[in-house]
Each structure stands twice: as structure tokens, then as C-alpha cells.
Structure 1
Amino acid sequence: MPITEEHVAQSVAEALQYISYYHPPDFIAAMSEAYAREENPGAKQAIGQILTNSRMCALGHRPICQDTGSVNVFVDIGVEAELAWTRPLQEIVDEGSRRAYTHDDNPLRASIVRDPLDARKNTGDNTPAMVQVNMVAGDKVEITVSAKGGGSENKSKFAMLNPSDSIADWVVNTVETLGAGWCPPGMLGIGVGGSVDKSMAMAKAVLNEPIDITELRARGPRDRVEELRLEILDRVNALGIGAQGLGGLTTVLDVKIRHFPTHAASLPVSLIPNCAATRHLHFTLDGSGPAEFAAPDLSLWPEEIASETGDAVRLDLDALDEATLAGLAPGQTVLLNGTLYTGRDAAHKRMVETLDRGEPLPVDLKGRAIYYVGPVDPVRGEVIGPAGPTTSTRMDKFTDRILSETGLKLMVGKAERGEAAIEAIRKHGAVYLIAVGGAAYLVSKAIKSSTPVAYQDLGMEAIYELRVEDMPVTVAVDTKGQSIHEIGPKRWRRSA
């Protein structure tokens, strides 16, 4: 029987919907193990929130993360497969992606911009997908679909090492510089050999392999690749970066390595991390119809997860003053209540351009708080869709200007801030808080109203006025410029 275009398109669409709200079972198991052994209360709470969010998404069929990712599709076509295709595979896959991202019951956030060099206008349906094709033996079509978030994708690295250099040293040293913008705990995909492009392709593809590091450690390594996986895992976790960069025992859940013959004078090495919103699914098409996917058993999720924040301090966002802000300390859990504005890359750029013209901003930010977020569209009576934080360092270059000229006092995002931003925070007596990346649906439940107030043409990057109740966050940088992303990892660093 022929494998049709509809078999491919519909399978891709259903797979993308599936992975938007179901974590892979091996990831849930690995995160549950990490939760059980974590000793840092802050990191344990972060992992607990990720697991709680994961179960909520599985039940509610809503996205795990507000960044529903770029679509990556890996296609192995059997040379004997009977294909009833008249369109290029790229167009067929894009049709499936379009169906998934514009689904009425669970629309996914469109994040792809058409022209990366100019206007960067959003395509509106998250196409085109990133498609990799191999011709293999057999008469079937094997497809792996993954959704890769921008926070982890932006941390990808490549190096052309000398053949005598240590791959483990380069990986460990590189991960130490990545910060927490890739939302650990996650996985590391490593491609070694081939060429520059081959190395990167292998690092991306190997992230879709099952997590099996516990079994590997139990039986012992059988070759140099497995030895290297264990060495890198132990050394990276010994850095003490921990969940969300708060410091802790688990930074990576597994290390995957794929290699290929290379030039005698070369050692190309690529590193691509996968975040706490790890999302991928494999299926086979044989001509009998679109793939079918069974829902995972809810017993996969641990029953006892302490994601609650009983020792947290409530903060009134409508009554921020210097004394209140000065009393916040790095690592402290805070529950936000009151008015919270949204605004990320495009909104910050436009605000600065407005200030450059000497014009007033459309929103008065004096004494207020802003949340770096681009939420998913709401459905079925929701106030807002999944609304987790975006990487805050992208706002660093705007921070001093915004704080000094608007009177903004509090920022909420994810991961660390750079030196210039921390100095601006200290100078202006502001505070930076972090929400848990990978817990977007959980965070959205604390948002009780959402009203667009400016820049609606920017879509998910518009400025909204939110009313929040007990939104859980952690103090990352206090008014003195002390950062939990420096304090935490130093406290939990250990010898591998």
C-alpha cells in the first residue's frame, strides 16, 4: 500500500499536538529520580513545579511551555517504500505543522519569523519546519518529530578542536558558560566528527534517543562513547548549576553522543542542549494510514510532589516601595499579587525607540513590575494560555534605560542576568525575580485577568496588563546586586 501525503501530514500534525502536552515517559522517570535525590530546597521545588505542570498539561491537553518550539522533523525514507507524493516533502511536513499550530482546541504559539535579516515578520503558523531527510534500507518511512524551544536552541555551540584535545573538557567548560537560559535539568546532545554541518545535525538528532544513563551506569560502559557519556554527565552535574541555575545536584539528566568519520586533521564537535520542555515522538508509516498515538499512563507521574510554596512571602505589586524591595533576598520564594505588565524583546525595543523620540510610553511603569513573557493564546474560557518566562538576558541591553527613565522596580523572567543588567538593578534599587521555565501552564493558573494595553500588533509580544494571585517566583537578584545564579552554583559545586 502506498504511503500518501495525507498519512505524513496528519501524522505530523497529531504528533505535534501530542508532544505539546505529553512529556516522553523516560523524561518523566528521569525527572522524578532527580526530584527524589535533590538536596537543594529551591532546586527541588523547581523540579516539583515542572513535574506538577507536566501532569496538569497531560490532563488538560495544553502546552507544557509557552514556547511551543520550532518544528524539527527527521525523516528516514526506505528506498523500497511506495510513495504517493506529488509535492516536496517540505510542503507536506509544513502542512502537518500548520494544522497542529492552528488547532482550534489547542492552538500552539507561532514563533517562526519569515525574514531573519529584515522585518522578522511572524509567519503566523510556525512554518516552515526544519526537515532532515535520509534514505535508508527498507520499505517504510520512519519519522521523528520534535519541538525545540528557543531558549535551549540559542545555547547551541560548535568548536573545531584539535584531534588531541579533550572533548569532555570542552563540553564541561562550555556548559559552565551557558547559564540557565536553556532551562535545566535537561539533556546534552553531542555530535562528533563528520563536518561542521554533519556534526550539528547529529547533535540535534541524538537528543531524540531514550534516556538510559541509569541503566548504562548500572551495567558499566562498553566502549569509549559510553565512558565519555558518563564522564561528561558526572562532571557537568558536579558544576552545581542545578535546576533553573539555582544550584543543586542535577543539571543534566543524560548525555547523548553520536559520531561519524572525519578528516584526519579535524575534530568537529557540536553541543546542543535540550530543556525541561523536552518534546519528541517517533512513528512509522507503512501505507496503512496515519500514525496513532496512545496517551501515556498517568501513573508515570509521581504522586507526592512538593511544588507548593508554604514558606513564601506574599508581595503586593500595587504597593512596591524601597523598604519592601530591600527586604527581599536571593533564593527567597515570593508569591506575587496584583498588577503585572508583560513585555519582552519587541516591546522593549519599541519602548526605547519611543523614549528616544521624547514621547511618553503607552504604559506608566513607575513603581511597577514587568514580566518577560509571550503566552500561548487562550482557549475554552481561559484568561490566558500557558505563560512561562522567556530568557531575560535578551532584555539586558534595555534594562538600565528602562529602569532609569520609567521608574520600573521589578522584573520577572528566567535565568541569570548579565553584569550590566545586574549593575543597573543595583544602581536603581530594583529587583529581578525568576519563574520556573518549563512550568508555563502552572504559572498561567495564577493569572486571573489579562488585558492588552499596548502594541497589539506585536501579537504574543504585545504589552498586557495581568492581575495575578499567588504567582510563585524566586528572588534572583536583590537590590544590592547579589545573584542567586552566582551564589547557588558556588554553594553546590563539588568534585566529580
Structure 2
Amino acid sequence: MTIDYTPLLPIGPDTTVYRKLDTDTIGTFSAAGRAFLDVAPDILEQLAFEAYRDVSHLLRTSHLRQIAAILDDPESSANDRYVATELLRNANVAAGGILPMCQDTGTAIVHAWRGQQVLTDRRDAEHLSHGIARAYTTLNLRYSQLAPLSMFDERNTGTNLPAQIEILAEGDDSYRFLFIAKGCGSANKSFLFQQTPALLDPANLLDFVVTKAAEIGTSACPPYHLAVVIGGSSAEFALKTAKLASAHHLDSLPSSGSSAGNGFRDHDFERQILTATQRLGIGAQFGGKHFCHDVRVVRLPRHGGSLPIALAVSCAADRHVLGKVTRDGVFLEQLDTDPARFLPDATEVLDHDVVRIDLDESPAQIRAQLSAHPVGTRVSLTGTMVVARDLAHAKIRERLDAGEPLPDYLRRYPVYYAGPAKTPSGYASGSFGPTTAGRMDSYVERFQAAGGSLVMLAKGNRSDAVRRSCQAHGGFYLGSIGGPAARLAHDCITSIETLEYGELGMEAVLKIRAEDFPAFIVIDDKGNDFYHRDNRTLLTIGAAPQ
């Protein structure tokens, strides 16, 4: 029997521009008429170390060009341009190699394809992990990985390990890698929808995909690289393909399928989805056109009774870098070391209509000033804030459950949901951007009823329960730009001290002073929500840009 075989994901030639690492020479030898590579353990360790060093501070030139293009688009909103400028400023600070571009320096994920003529000691994942741990322990990165000690007890590993490492056998005499630093904000916005073949209708499928994309909201730091996978031999393969596509790893797939069942990109459907997302009105976080930089749609074969659909995004911290080991040496993708050239010449137009808030005034005075302005107003915050996020909120709720009062610091100061990276020598703090607000939604009503968390600062949209609580208790939610963590640390955070729960590391309760910290009024004390104006959500297909 003859079959028409083709790989499930037939990727085209690699056109990446690489830089060569200064490492030991790759050993080679011949046997049974074939040439083999002998890859020593320190080669893998050094490759992983340099990959995670580079990807924590540098971006691809293509990504930077897409951010800069927002500034040149006459259809961009003022807020689109403001967010784009902040992201470029952040890239410029991060490129200095001291402050990482995002405070969530991510879960280390390695996809690797080892050729049959590449020999190692078979402990590849261990050697790669050594390099990853060296990057996270010696650079100004953050430890985010929690080891489960029991079903309900966890402890930070202090190395950011374990990494997710997957090595497949593919190819001949080369070893190829895709290194990813995946923050939880964008990782949490990977979704699988088990649908039926009835959805395979052009209008219905477009409506479904764009609706689900809109529901991602802004908490994962748009503008996004959105990946959509239609079909798949299994649920897990659909999700994996979406992750690879969001990293642009599948850009060279063919543009049509075949009877053999290969996956392909649908460029027309990509354009339709991108156009539809531009009409949502969400924009680059605070209203406008640029919710997505681009869209990748991959169509896969499927079982006749199943239609998995997977969505994934890569966020403002688009952290992916390719590597390879060949007979010619060890190579990493050349990321962009000069993002400053993309910065606009002048930004004074972006600084109009900013309301300056003194956070050292009384809580009542702060809220009275915020109450005088509508949602969507851009504010500049100067003064004292406390920092608390998931684990600190859980511990404070335990105190309330035990009949103890809310800590005074949550009554006195605005609360910033964040968890900084390590502080470099000579700096006030490490990279210090906002975390996703929605993870703290379940605490808000309880804390506000007790007189605290009446001014909250984080990123992304929030639930209707938070809006109702703010209306009932006179509270406010301020949205900061998701993404520019290095710039905030460099330009806005002037001091930091631990108030409580120091054992939680980056999740401790902190007290910080800020200068000209940028934010927007998202939810006010009257029950208005920037993302749900006049009972008409911005997250609705066809809404006009604001």
C-alpha cells in the first residue's frame, strides 16, 4: 500500500538571522558512513543561560516595528499611541541588560528537536535546567515557580525551576531550540473550546473566534499576537500548536491543505479576524484600534466527531528566541539591541489632560479627587502605595475569617497588585509592572466592606462584582499599562520596603513610593466601568473604536 505522507506541521526553511556564541567547538566524528555531532553538557547549559538572558531584555525587531507602526497609524487612538510609546520606552530601558522587560520573568519553556546524528549524554533536560537556573539566580529575574509540598502547601523553589522542557527526535545532524519565557498573564489566556463540526461555517466561525478573543480582555497586556487553531488530532495538540503559532514558530506553514492531512495557515481568515478585532474598541488596553498586532490561524485535521478550537496569545513581552547547534557551532537568534531607534522624536502630545493625584493626602481626599473625573481619565500618581497580590490577599482574608481587623495599611494607602523582580544594585527596585487584577476580584467586596482596598491599581478588566462593590463602598479601580515594568522601576519607583510576610518573597506586602506613575480610571465610585460604558460593553463585536 502506498500512502501520501506529509508531516502534520510541515514548516518551511529557517530564515532566521543568528549570532554565534563563544563556546567550545562542537565535536564531530564519523561512523557507519554518517557524520555525528558530539554535544557536551556545558554547551547546552551555556546556550540556555544566554537564551534566557537575551529573551528577558531584548525583543525581535519585527515586534518592535509593529509597536512603532501604531504611532504612524492615523486610525490609532490617543491611548493606542500612549501605550505604544510606553512599550517602546520600556524596551529601551530593558535593552540595557539590567532591568528585565517584565517583572514576571516567566516560566521557562524549551521546545527542542534533536537530530538522529546528534549525540549527548542523554541528560539534556538536566543540563538545560542548569543553564536556566544560572540565568534566574544570577540575573535580576524573578522566582515564580511554586513546588507543591502537599495538595494545599507550596513553597517557592528559589531557582525558577522546574522548567518545562520537551525534546523531540527530528532531523539529522542539527539540534534546534525554541526558548520561551512565558508570563502567567498571557499563559492564563490560553483556551480550549471543544466544539462540534456544526461551527464550520464562515460567518459562525468568525463570530465565535472574535467573541472568544474579545473575552481575553486586556489583562494579558495587549497588543497581542493572537493564535487560533481550528481542529487537531487531540485537545492537547491543538493547544500546543496554538502556543507555537503565537511565537510565530509556524509562520512558514503552507497556505493550503492536502488529502494527506497537513496543517496549514489560512491567511484570509487571519485578515478577517484581525479586522474584526480592530472594530472591538478595546485597542491597546485603554480603547482604540490595536487590540492585536497580528493573527495566526492554523487549520489542522480532526476526528470526524470533534472540533477542538484553541486560542493563545503572546503579549507585550513577546519573549521567544530560537537556538541551534550545528557542526558550525552554537547559535542564538539575533534579537534587537537598539530599540531606541523606534522611539518617537517628541511625546509632548501624549502628556495632555493628565490629572495629578497626591497619594499622600488622606484617603477621603484621594477618592474625592478621583470622583471628580470620568472613567477613562489618565492620571499620574505620586506618593505612597502598598503592594499586595495573591498570597498576601489570601493571608489577610484568613485574618478577617479569624475575627481580626483589616491591616491599617490597606485602609490608609492605595493597593498596587504587583510582584517585583529582584532589585539590581544601585536601584530602588527591580522591574515592577502591574499584575492581573482579576485574580484578586473575589477579595474586593470583603476588604472594601472592612474599609480597605478602596483605591486599587493593577492591569486588565475586572468583574461586575468589583464594579458593584466600588459603587457600594465608594471605591476605585485604576488600570495601569500592562507591560512597561522596566520603565516603571527605572522612572517611577523611588523606594521600597517590606511591611509584612517577607517570607513570601516577591509576594510579600511592600510599601513603595512612586513618582508620576501612569494609570487610568477604569472603575469609579458611581459604578461606571471604562470597559462597560453605558451598559454597552466594549468587548462586543462591531463596537466602534473609542
Return the TM-score normalized by structure 2: 0.83
Partner residue, 1:57: 94
Partner residue, 2:56: 20
Give runs of aligned pairs for residues 252-267 of structure 1, distance below 5 A.
252-267=292-307
Relative to 1, partners in 2 of residues 1:113 and 1:23: Cα closer, same or farther, differing over 3 Å? same
Query: What is the identity, as a one-letter code, of the residue corresponding to 1:454?
Result: E
Partner residue, 1:119: 153
Query: Partners of 1:39 and 1:295 in 2: how far apart?
Result: 27
Query: Partners of 1:362 and 1:368 in 2: how far apart?
Result: 11
- The counterpart of 2:476, out of the listed 428, 431, 440, is 431
Query: What is the identity, as a one-letter code, of the residue corresponding to 2:322?
Result: H
Partner residue, 2:142: 109
Q: CA deviation at 1:339?
A: 1.0
Counterpart contact for 2:185–2:435, Cα < 8 Å: yes
Relative to 1, partners in 2 of residues 1:161 and 1:363: Cα closer, same or farther, differing over 3 Å? same
Partner residue, 2:288: 248
Relative to 1, partners in 2 of residues 1:415 and 1:198: Cα closer, same or farther, differing over 3 Å? same
Gaps of 5+ in 1: 217-222
Aligned length: 482
Q: CA deviation at 1:212?
A: 7.8
Q: CA deviation at 1:288?
A: 5.4
- The counterpart of 2:121, out of the listed 74, 85, 91, is 85
Partner residue, 2:215: 177
Query: Partners of 2:277 and 2:369 in 1: how far apart?
Result: 37
Q: Does 1:372 align with 2:417?
A: yes
Q: Does 1:225 align with 2:266?
A: yes
Q: CA deviation at 1:209?
A: 1.6
Q: What are the Cα deviations for residues 389-440 of structure 1, in whole angstroms up to 9, with x where unaligned?
A: 0010111110011112134421100011101111111111111111111100
Q: CA deviation at 1:292?
A: 5.1
Q: CA deviation at 1:369?
A: 0.4
- The counterpart of 2:388, out of the listed 343, 362, 366, is 343
Query: What is the identity, as a one-letter code, of the residue corresponding to 1:54?
Result: A
Query: What is the identity, as a one-letter code, of the residue corresponding to 1:464?
Result: L
Give runs of aligned pairs for residues 72-471 of structure 1, distance below 5 A.
72-81=109-118, 83-87=119-123, 89-103=124-138, 106-115=139-148, 117-166=151-200, 167-192=205-230, 193-209=232-248, 225-244=266-285, 246-286=286-326, 289-291=329-331, 294=334, 296-298=336-338, 300-304=341-345, 306=347, 309-319=351-361, 320=363, 321=365, 322-444=367-489, 445-471=491-517
Relative to 1, partners in 2 of residues 1:197 and 1:127: Cα closer, same or farther, differing over 3 Å? same
Query: Partners of 2:240 and 2:193 in 1: how far apart?
Result: 14
Relative to 1, partners in 2 of residues 1:420 and 1:155: Cα closer, same or farther, differing over 3 Å? same
Identity of aligned residues (%): 31
Query: Partners of 1:186 and 1:19 in 2: how far apart?
Result: 17
Counterpart contact for 1:364–1:406, Cα < 8 Å: no
Query: What is the identity, as a one-letter code, of the residue corresponding to 2:248?
Result: E
Partner residue, 1:219: none
Query: Partners of 2:311 and 2:112 in 1: how far apart?
Result: 22
Counterpart contact for 1:22–1:57, Cα < 8 Å: yes
Query: Partners of 2:353 and 2:304 in 1: how far apart?
Result: 58
Deviates more, 1:272-281 or 1:157-166: 157-166
Counterpart contact for 2:45–2:127, Cα < 8 Å: yes
Counterpart contact for 2:386–2:409, Cα < 8 Å: no
Larger Rg: 2
Q: CA deviation at 1:483?
A: 1.2
Indicate the SS of the match to 1:484.
coil
Query: Partners of 2:516 and 2:168 in 1: how far apart?
Result: 49
Indicate the SS of the match to 1:179.
coil
Which stretches of structure 1, 4 residues or longer, exceed 4 Å deviation after superposition?
Answer: 210-213, 287-290, 292-295
Q: Does 1:489 align with 2:524?
A: no
Query: What is the identity, as a one-letter code, of the residue corresponding to 1:328?
Result: H
Counterpart contact for 1:191–1:201, Cα < 8 Å: no
Query: Partners of 1:345 and 1:134 in 2: how far apart?
Result: 36
Query: What is the identity, as a one-letter code, of the residue corresponding to 2:274?
Result: L
